[in-house]
Amino acid sequence: MTANDSTPEKKPTQADTPEATGGQTTGQEAEAAPAVDELSQQLQQALAERDAHHERWQRTLADWDNFRKRAAKEAEQERLYSLMPLIRDLLPGLDNLQRALQAAEQGGDIEQLVQGVQMVFQQFHDVLAKYHIEVIPAVGQPFDPNLHEAVQQMPSNEHPPMTVLHEVERGYRLHDRIVRPSKVIVSSAAPQAPAES
């Protein structure tokens, strides 16, 4: 064995491989190239979907804004003109009252005038009933501060204290809400006669 034979055999390093020196790629690199292309395509597809969703979201937002403005305008119109049906129903009664006053000014019969005014009163009462506005019962009822407003007390032997004797001004309610309470005169206990000694 010579001195030249004692040197160990040099193993090729990675830098000496053909791939590192510009030769052909390895199997791993060949597999990675299609994966990168596929990921790039997926990214492009995801970006396109994102843009489509964003555009759809913007259109939906614009539609919602238009709907909100339209609903607010309709609500304002409803608020402004909600009493139109009631006014239309009241106008015939007002016309009849005007005719009754004109007849009275021309020296008409008082009895006919009274009948005409009673008819107008009934007409107004019917219109209120149509809109669920009811008269609050008062005379003969026990005084209820939720329904009645006492303007005076009157001694009475015939009725228990705090009974409504007279209605000064009629009260009305709409469903279960008081439009205005009845103004009433209520009974109080009659004064006791002094005992004879």
Average pLDDT over residues 123-137: 90
SS3 label, residue 65:
helix
Q: Which CATH number fits domain 132-190: 3.30.70.20, 1.10.10.10, 2.30.22.10, 3.30.300.130?
A: 2.30.22.10
Confidence of residue 96 (pLDDT cuts 50, 70, 90): confident
SS3 of the chain: helix, strand, coil, percent, to 5: 55, 20, 30
- The DSSP symbol for 167 reads E
pLDDT(14) > 90:
no
CA-CA distance, 70 to 159, in Å (whole number)? 60
Average pLDDT over residues 85-107: 83
pLDDT(52) > 70:
yes
pLDDT(124) > 70:
yes
CA-CA distance, 193 to 197, in Å (whole number)? 12
- Select the more confidently predicted residue: 60 or 24: 60
Look at residue 68 in the predicted model and tell me its pLDDT.
93
Beta-carbon contacts of residue 92 (< 8 Å; ≥ 6 apart): 123
Taking every pair of Cα atoms in the chain, the longest distance, rounded to a whole number of angstroms, is 166
pLDDT(10) > 60:
no
- Provide the residue type at 197 as one letter: S
- Select the more confidently predicted residue: 111 or 19: 111
What is the full DSSP assignment across 104-121? Answer: HHTT--HHHHHHHHHHHH
Beta-carbon contacts of residue 89 (< 8 Å; ≥ 6 apart): 127, 130, 131
Query: How far is CA 185 from each of CA 1, 6, 156, 159, rounded to the nearest angstrom?
Result: 143, 137, 11, 12
SS3 label, residue 176:
coil
| Nearest in space to 136 (alpha carbons), one of 185, 179, 188, 90 | 179
**What pTM was computed for the model?**
0.57
Look at residue 178 in the predicted model and tell me its pLDDT.
92
Lowest mean pLDDT among 16-20, 117-121, 173-177: 16-20
Confidence of residue 183 (pLDDT cuts 50, 70, 90): very high
CA-CA distance, 172 to 166, in Å (whole number)? 16
Beta-carbon contacts of residue 58 (< 8 Å; ≥ 6 apart): none
Average pLDDT over residues 157-161: 86
Q: Is the dihedral of CA 50, 52, 56, 62 positive or negative?
A: positive
